[in-house]
């Protein structure tokens, strides 16, 4: 198994009346940036970067950063900038950008260039995630969501070709046309950095990842247990359809984890932060989370059908934990629950979100240390055969 410490860099200082949903219907798009204080932001960014760098000392296989726009949930509009600060301060661990929001960016070659630069500077330690960006960001960035799917696929194709095909060559797409594609530098890893695709809700994406020409890792993000299973099953089914057995390293799970001495302590210390994430940071307006055409009408009908199950805003910390939206517990509880999860679902990538919501620095560090010293080695031993059988293939 491999462990990648995930950070969202949230903005914790929400207005006092944020619980009033009629005043603050969302932490995205319309929440005024007058609530952002750059003086505090300076301290916060540097604190968060310290936490990310510390992951290497603790033995994590890597650290993950991502891209979100104009919200309090995560203050990393550019994962590449955060990655750039990390590559020179770390020596061993991988830096995963999960990922660049391709349709939201005006030019895919800009992504191809920046990721290639990072890969070369870091000595081949980059994992390049690609995302469509979440629905709200189509409002924030003005990009037409009805073209999201095709822009994503076309930008992806252009980037992969730019990394793998000797230039200059002409790219003739519908959304992107370049007569001289000739990216300098080219990435250090061959044929290109590994690609991870975080997803939520679309079976088509899973099938696209599983295609033998790609074999990209699919990451389940903040999903309840049964949905994680549904997506991993769909991945294996798609791979079987293509005639191969996927490696566990083609499947990953990202969710908040907090480890303490006892279960009770874990809830006392981290319950409120989990609630911050699910009740505040993830507060969306439904129509903004799902802009028109972002998801196919048939998928939307399916999502609307199980929307009541995704009603995390109505759950307390116990319920969030019970459904698998987070995992809070003692070393034993966390070990057991994760081991059972991995045995059942056979995934190789775990991306624990060990800082979440408004968790203070000292708690974050304690959580990271307990996870790294008590949980991670246990799971690595427990699933050693996975490493032996698959890590080369992955």
Partner 1 sequence: MTPSELSVDVHGTRVRVLCAGSGAPLVYLHGLLGEFTWLPLFESLSREYKLYIPESPGFAETEGLERIESIHDLAFHYADLLDCLELERPHLAGLSVGGWIAAELAVHYPGRVSKLVLIDALGLKLPGVFLPDVFAANPRETRALLFRDPNSELALSLLSDSPSPDMLTRMLAYRQALARVAWNPYLHDPRLKERLYRVKTPTLILWGDSDRLVSSEHGRLYADNIAGARMAIVENSGHLPSLEQPHQTAEHISKFLRNS
Nearest-approach distance from CB 307 to partner 1, in angstroms = 11
Contact 239, 247 (CB under 8 A): no
> Rounded to the nearest whole angstrom, what is the least distance from the CB of residue 211 to partner 1 in the complex?
22
Q: Binding of partner 1 at residue 237 (CB under 8 A)?
A: no
Distance CA 137, CA 134 (A): 6
Instruction: Give whichever of 28 and 232 is closer to partner 1, judged by the CB atom.
Output: 28
Residue nearer to partner 1 on the CB measure, 6 or 139: 139
The footprint of partner 1 on residues 335-394 (CB under 8 A) is none
Site track for partner 1 across 114-143, x = CB under 8 A: ------------------------xx--xx
Residue from 88, 297, 314, 385 that binds partner 1 (CB under 8 A)? 297
Which of 20, 21, 146, 361 binds partner 1 (CB under 8 A)? It is: 146
φ, ψ of residue 97 to 5 degrees: the values are -100, 110
Q: How many CB atoms lie within 10 A of CB 331?
A: 18
Given 101, 103, 145, 352, the residue binding partner 1 (CB under 8 A)? 145
Cβ-defined contacts of 315-321 (< 8 Å, 24+): 315/278, 316/271, 316/275, 317/267, 317/270, 317/271, 317/272, 317/274, 317/275, 318/267, 320/274, 320/275, 320/278, 321/267, 321/274
Nearest to 61, CA basis, from 393, 339, 387: 387
CB of 8 to partner 1, least distance (A): 24
CB atoms closer than 10 angstroms to residue 313: 13
Cα 130 to chain centroid, rounded: 10
Specify the residue, 142 or 191, whose C-beta has the smaller distance to partner 1: 142
Residue 300 engages partner 1 in binding (rule: CB under 8 A): yes
Q: How far is the CB of 144 from partner 1 (least distance, A)?
A: 4
Residues in the chain: 394
Q: Any contact of residue 292 with partner 1 (CB under 8 A)?
A: yes
CB of 288 to partner 1, least distance (A): 5
Q: Which CB atom, from 138 or from 371, has the smaller least distance to partner 1?
A: 138
Q: How many residues bind partner 1 (CB under 8 A)?
A: 19
Rounded Cα distance, 124 and 100, in Å: 18
Q: Which of residues 154-183 bind partner 1 (CB under 8 A)?
A: none
- Return the number of other C-beta atoms located less than 10 Å from residue 25's C-beta: 16
Query: For partner 1, which is the closer residue by CB, 292 or 360?
Result: 292
Choose, by CB under 8 A, the member of 57, 89, 190, 301 that binds partner 1: 301
User: How far from 263 is each of 255, 267, 270, 385, CA to CA, in Å?
Assistant: 18, 6, 11, 30
Q: Cα–Cα distance between 180 and 6 in angstroms, integer?
A: 37
Report, in Å, the least distance between residue 234 CB and partner 1: 23
Out of 164, 182, 262, 304, the residue judged to bind partner 1 by CB under 8 A: 304
Q: Round to whole Å and give the CA distance between 355 and 360.
A: 8
Tell me: does residue 288 bind partner 1 (CB under 8 A): yes
Among 62, 246, 291, 329, binds partner 1 (CB under 8 A): 291
Spatial separation of the C-alpha atoms in residues 295 and 300, rounded to whole Å: 6
Nearer to partner 1, 38 or 297 (CB): 297
In this structure, the strands spanning 217-221 and 251-260 are parallel
Give the separation between CA 194 and CA 348, rounded to whole angstroms: 15
Q: Quick check: 307 binds partner 1 (CB under 8 A)?
A: no
Q: Applying CB under 8 A, which part among 63-71, 193-201, 279-287, 376-384 lies near partner 1?
A: 279-287
CB of 186 closer than 8 Å to CB of 192:
no
Q: Which of 41, 77, 167, 293 binds partner 1 (CB under 8 A)?
A: 293
Which chain residues interact with partner 1 by CB under 8 A? Answer: 29, 138-139, 142-146, 285-288, 291-293, 297, 300-301, 304
């Amino acid at each position: 198994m491999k462990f990648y410490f995930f950070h969202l860099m949230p903005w914790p200082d929400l207005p006092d009346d944020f619980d009033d949903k009629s005043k603050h219907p969302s932490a995205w798009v319309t929440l005024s940036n007058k609530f952002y204080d750059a003086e505090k932001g300076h301290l916060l960014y540097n604190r968060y970067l310290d936490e990310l760098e510390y992951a290497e000392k603790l033995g994590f296989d890597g650290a993950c950063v991502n891209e979100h726009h104009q919200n309090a949930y995560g203050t990393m509009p550019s994962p590449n900038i955060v990655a750039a600060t990390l590559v020179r301060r770390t020596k061993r661990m991988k830096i995963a950008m999960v990922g660049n929001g391709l349709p939201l960016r005006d030019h895919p070659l800009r992504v191809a260039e920046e990721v290639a630069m990072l890969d070369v500077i870091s000595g081949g330690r980059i994992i390049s995630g690609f995302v469509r960006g979440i629905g709200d960001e189509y409002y924030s960035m003005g990009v037409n969501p009805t073209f999201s799917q095709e822009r994503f696929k076309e930008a992806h194709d252009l980037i992969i070709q730019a990394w793998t095909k000797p230039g200059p060559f002409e790219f003739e797409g519908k959304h992107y046309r370049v007569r001289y594609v000739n990216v300098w530098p080219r990435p250090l890893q061959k044929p290109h950095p590994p690609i991870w695709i975080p997803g939520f809700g679309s079976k088509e994406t899973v099938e696209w990842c599983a295609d033998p020409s790609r074999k990209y890792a699919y990451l389940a993000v903040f999903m309840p247990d049964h949905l994680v299973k549904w997506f991993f099953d769909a991945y294996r089914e798609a791979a079987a359809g293509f005639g191969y057995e996927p490696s566990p390293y083609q499947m990953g799970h990202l969710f908040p984890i907090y480890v303490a001495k006892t279960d009770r302590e874990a809830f006392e210390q981290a319950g409120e932060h989990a609630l911050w994430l699910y009740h505040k940071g993830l507060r969306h307006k439904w129509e903004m989370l799902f802009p028109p055409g972002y998801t196919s009408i048939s998928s939307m009908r399916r999502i609307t059908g199980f929307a009541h199950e995704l009603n995390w805003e109505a759950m307390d910390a116990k319920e969030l934990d019970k459904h698998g939206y987070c995992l809070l517990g003692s070393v034993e509880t966390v070990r057991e629950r994760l081991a059972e999860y991995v045995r059942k679902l056979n995934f190789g990538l775990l991306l624990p979100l060990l800082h979440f919501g408004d968790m203070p620095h000292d708690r974050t560090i304690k959580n990271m240390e307990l996870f790294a010293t008590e949980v991670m080695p246990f799971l690595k031993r427990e699933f050693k055969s996975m490493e032996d059988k698959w890590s080369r293939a992955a």
